[in-house]
Amino acid sequence: MKIPSITVLPLSFLFLLSACEQGADSDGPAPYSSRYEALPSEATILQGATVLTGTGERIDNADVVMDGGKIVAVGPDLDAGSMTVVDASGMWITPGVIDVHSHLGVYPSPQVNAHSDGNEATAPNTAEVWAEHSVWPHDPGFVAALAGGVTALQILPGSANLFGGRGVTLKNVPGQSVQEMKFPGAPHGLKMACGENPKRVYGNRRVAPSTRMGNVAGYRSAWIAADDYRKKQAAAEKGQGEAPMRDLKLETLAGVLDGEILVHNHCYRADEMAVMFDIAKEFGYKIAAFHHGVEAYKVADLLRENDTCAAIWADWYGFKMEAFDGIRENAAILDRAGACTVMHSDDDIGIQRLNQESAKVIGAAANVGIDISPERAVRWFTSNAAKALGIDDVTGSLEPGKMADVTVWSGNPFSVYTKAEQVYIDGALAYDRQNPDVNPVTDFSLGTSALHGGAQ
Amino acid sequence: MRITIRLTATLLTLAASAASAQTTAITGATVHTVGPEGTLDNATIVIENGRIAEVGTGIQVPAGAEVIDASGKIVTPGLFSAMGQLGLTEVSAVSGTNDAVQRGDDFSAGFDVADAYNRRSILIPIARIDGITRALIAPRAGGPDEEGNSSRVLSGLGSVVQLGDSGNYLTRRGAAVVANFGETGSAVAAGSRAAAIQELRTALADALDYRKNKAAYDRGDWREYSVSRADLEALLTVLEGDRSIVFNANRASDIEVIINLASEFSVNTIIVGGAEAWMLADELAAANVSVIIDGTANLPGDFDRMNARLESGGILAAAGVRVAFGAGAQTHQARNITQSAGNAVANGMDWDDALEAITLAPAEMYGVAAEVGSVEAGKAADLVIWAADPLELTSYPEQVLIQGESIPMQSRQTLLRDRYLQTDSGKPPAFRN
């Protein structure tokens, strides 16, 4: 990742620091920074489970040791010392589930207009908006997702616009504000959208874009403006001319060109992905992931060569033309080609069972003689998802030193009968199916039977 | 395909009769009959002329029968999609392909979607190779179009279809009338769910009056009714017990109203959605009202579903309510009723009840259980041979039979799959056929 030098880009560098770092100096935390604090935890050993590490490994009858919020050790017959012991025999342990594409909080339950805060569909380029400023922390969907094993998730703006705004990665812990949920140090995402949505939304208003070529012209024009903005900033740094006035929209786009903000590109069709790669090449940025890549399987090699992840559903198809060619083997073909394959939800129900969505792919692949092992498939919603979000150095796999974001399953996570039994976030027990009294309940759910997102 | 088909026929028996050539036997499987015989191990199913002739253990395979060796496999009845628009849509967002919504005042209860059904829809092979053999195809509610016309409280008539390639596709035309309560009902009525209920009550009362005064009405010598003649006829059949009425409803208070209507008019009643139906499980059982739910819906998506929960299926079935899955998994995703059922099992529902909920229960709801829904002698041979537990998502059908015919295990999706699984053709994918 290209890191901006402070002499070249003072404005955006300071800005990014404030956006991304947990910094707490004498004046308190910087504006918009994460104020996440891990829940209280104790040194814990989970004993005797089948462990899928998220790195492609499976260890039978193994223990997982967590201390100080971190994974300390994974392997058979580890010393329990004076730690809290959890008997996990017969259970399976995976890294916590990570969803790269969620609208929890910005399109929360109940889905009333008053809560509809995910699409700033007032202009095709709204790179200036941040999804985190729409997140309602009391969305019952967060708790339901927790009961599905989800420990981190990216909340994205919707796809009405070419540039929908910044996404935010959260730890799946209840917070009174979004700042208390923000994943410390996680880069922002930029939501971009290909295809039908932007051209429909603006075409219906008789403004650009109304076609796919209009979409592409819109992206390129915006990048030209961002490039110009950066150049003026750089020149001003050298004493050549005045620095441009701060511009939120261009600041976001410049952050992408600086490699600090990751592009998450809603893009269904394979041919459009190929065009988006050309745009990325023209302006020198990288696409972290295509989301909803229903046709990603058609360009699996291209995705691998560009080191771009494909975030997909297992089997959504047919709801619009660009989803016409969806097949259940999409993930199997991508994974076989060595492309970074990610199972995502885009849905408050689907997020609760990304393991099951992956199971569908395993079944479809088996039907054509492709064997996908659990240790391989688990990467789709753990380490590969972490990679797409730029947090794979700190979470997404069960390796010593990483955050102890861990899901304990009642059995093989790819069985429909299996449920998340315990969920640890930074080593703290955030959800325990056998002990519902200690589980979080959102304000909105009080007094209803949907106490734990209906997932008791 | 991993099933070996072996012909035990000798030349002699082949020549014997035309009927024997239409005899098939499935042998060696664990058969979940969903009928009185329960689950049978190492069982044989004999199929003659598209119907199940015999099922059981120790049955002699008739001479000349085509034998499908399903040893080690699981056989279930064909799955039944209890609600959806299969054959009434191709692409949801392409309006020209959609035929399930009628707006304006011409029809309500009498709007019959059966004639719009397209048995060649690309969705149908996709559904049936995952085990769906029958489906209720239903009209649905639609909001205002450009002229401001909405659909009505009563959406129209739904039919049961078979998803095979041959024979009459209609299993039962007009099996149910579809009505909309709750937030949807109030949206298409006058802005209040009370208005929706009144609109329905008025129409039912009109139908009763029409029955008594048909002749006068036909002469033009009677009062006007709130709905058209086609609608009155459609409702009359409901009132006479010959067709079910399906209510889209989720809120417990709406369900209470429906239970009362069901008793008052003595109509066969089905609730679709039913997020809060579990709160009235005993009342629903007592009133013999069936419920079609979504086994994965557990969030308050609106204020009608404040008490949605994953245990609904188990609670309702334990109380004796007839339950089906199909409130969420529909149409393009009809195949995911197995996921819905599997999740219900994970949350307390009995496995056999869950299988019944995607086979026999909807057949009973729509009055076609004499024809389909279980593996019983005399019923149509709609059967699925599974690689493993049908509710597991890692499982899949190895062969599906509809009315005794092995369907091609192929869809547009498998064609795409096969094309893109090839990597070494040296030519663009368009040449890989």
Give pLDDT tens digits for A152-194: 999 999 999 999 999 999 999 999 999 999 999 999 999 999 9
Considering chain B, what percentage of its residues have pLDDT values greater than 90? 85
Q: Which whole-number Å values give the CA distances from A208 to A275, A276, A279, B4, B342, in the listed order?
A: 19, 18, 18, 58, 46
B308: chain A residues, CB-CB within 8 Å: 450, 454
Q: Which of B50, B119, B58, B55 is nearest to B87 (CA)?
A: B119
Average pLDDT taken over every residue of chain B: 93
Residue B8 clears pLDDT 60, i.e. is over it: no
- For B299-354, how does the pLDDT look when each residue is reduced to its tens digit (9 = 90+)? 999 999 999 999 999 999 999 999 999 999 999 999 999 999 999 999 999 999 99
How high is the pLDDT of residue B433? 81
Task: Judge whether residue A38 has pLDDT over 60.
Answer: yes
Inter-chain CB proximity B332 and A317 less than 8 Å: yes
Query: Where does the pLDDT of residue B189 fall: very low under 50, low under 70, confident under 90, or very high at 90 and above?
Result: confident
List, for residues B275-286, the tens digit of each pLDDT value.
Answer: 999 999 999 999
* Subunit contact A455:B310, Cβ cutoff 8 A: yes
Q: Which residue in B has a C-alpha nearest to residue A357's C-alpha? A: B393
Output the pLDDT for position A438: 86
**pLDDT > 60? residue B410:** yes
Distance from chain centroid for Cα B206: 30
Check residue A5 and give its pLDDT: 37
Per-residue confidence (pLDDT) for residue A175, from 0 to 100: 96
Most confidently predicted of A29-33, B144-148, B415-419: B415-419
Q: How many CB atoms sit inside 10 A of residue B123's CB?
A: 28
- Of residues B37 and B185, the one with the higher pLDDT is B37
Tokens of B394: 């890692």
Give rounded-to-5 percent helix, strand, coil for chain B: 35, 25, 45
Q: What is the enclosing helix (H) or strand (E) of A365?
A: helix A354-367
Chain B stretch 100-129, residues whose beta carbon is closer than 8 A to a beta carbon of chain A: 123
Question: Are residues A439 and A452 in contact, defined by beta-carbon separation less than 8 angstroms?
Answer: yes
- Compute and round to an integer the Cα radius of gyration of chain B: 23
Judge whether B243 is closer than 8 Å to chain A, CB to CB: no
Give residue A26's pLDDT band: very low, low, confident or very high (50, 70, 90). low
Quote the pLDDT of residue B150. Answer: 84
Check residue A451 and give its pLDDT: 55
pLDDT tens-digit map of A103-127: 999 999 999 999 999 999 999 999 9
Residue of B nearest to A419 (CA): B346
* Average pLDDT of span B132-140: 97
A62 pLDDT tier (thresholds 50, 70, 90): very high
B91 interfacial to chain A (CB closer than 8 Å)? yes
Do A342 and A381 form a contact (C-beta atoms < 8 A)?
Answer: yes
Q: Is A438 helix (H, G, I), strand (E, B) or coil?
A: helix
Q: Looking at the predicted structure, is the pLDDT value of residue A8 above 80?
A: no
pLDDT number for residue B290: 98
| C-alpha to C-alpha distances, A226 to A9, A246, A249, A281, B1, nearest whole angstrom | 13, 12, 9, 15, 55
Partners of A46 in beta bridges: A64, A86
A25 — pLDDT class (breaks 50, 70, 90): low
Q: Which of B310, B418, B421 sits opposite A454 (nearest CB)?
A: B310
Please provide the average confidence, as pLDDT, over all residues in chain A: 93
Mean pLDDT across the stretch A313-337? 98
| pLDDT bucket at A235, cuts 50 / 70 / 90 | very high
CA angle A268, A274, A276 (to 5 degrees): 80
Asked if B413 lies within 8 A of A356 by C-beta distance, the reply is no
B391–chain A Cβ distance below 8 A for any pair:
yes
- Contacts B131 to A, Cβ<8 Å: none
Residue A304 neighbours by CB distance under 10 Å: 15
At A13 the pLDDT is 35
Judge if the upstream peptide bond of residue B77 is cis by omega within 30 degrees of 0: no
pLDDT above 70 as % of chain A: 93
In A293-449, where do the E strands start and end?
309-312, 341-343, 406-409, 420-425, 428-432
Strand arrangement, sheet containing B269-273: B79-81, B132-137, B154-162, B170-180, B244-249, B269-273, B290-293, B323-325
Q: Does B208 touch chain A (CB under 8 A)?
A: no
How far is it, in rounded angstroms, from Cα B359 to Cα B369? 9
Average pLDDT over residues B375-398: 98
In B324-353, the residues whose Cβ lies within 8 Å of chain A are 328, 332-333, 335-336, 338-339, 342-343, 345-346
Total number of residues shown for chain A: 456
- Residue pair B181/B248 in contact by the 8 Å Cβ criterion: yes
Nearest CA in chain B to A300: B420
Whether residue A261 lies within 8 A of chain B, CB to CB, comes out as no
Average pLDDT over residues B140-147: 86
pLDDT at B144: 84
Residue A55 is predicted with a pLDDT of 98
Q: Using one digit for the tens of pLDDT, what is the confidence trace for B60-74? A: 999 999 999 999 999
Half-sphere exposure at residue A420, Cβ-oriented, CA atoms within 13 angstroms: 31
Cβ within 8 Å, pair B309-A449: yes
Residues B11, B28: Cα–Cα separation, whole Å: 25
Whether residue A209 has a cis bond before it, omega within 30° of 0: yes
pLDDT, one tens digit per residue, over A68-103 is 999 999 999 999 999 999 999 999 999 999 999 999
The predicted structure's pLDDT at residue B313: 97
Higher pLDDT, A26 or B108: B108
Contact B306 A450 (CB under 8 A): yes
Contacts of B217 (CB under 8 A, 6+ apart): B210, B225, B229
Residues of A in contact with B303 (CB under 8 A): 110
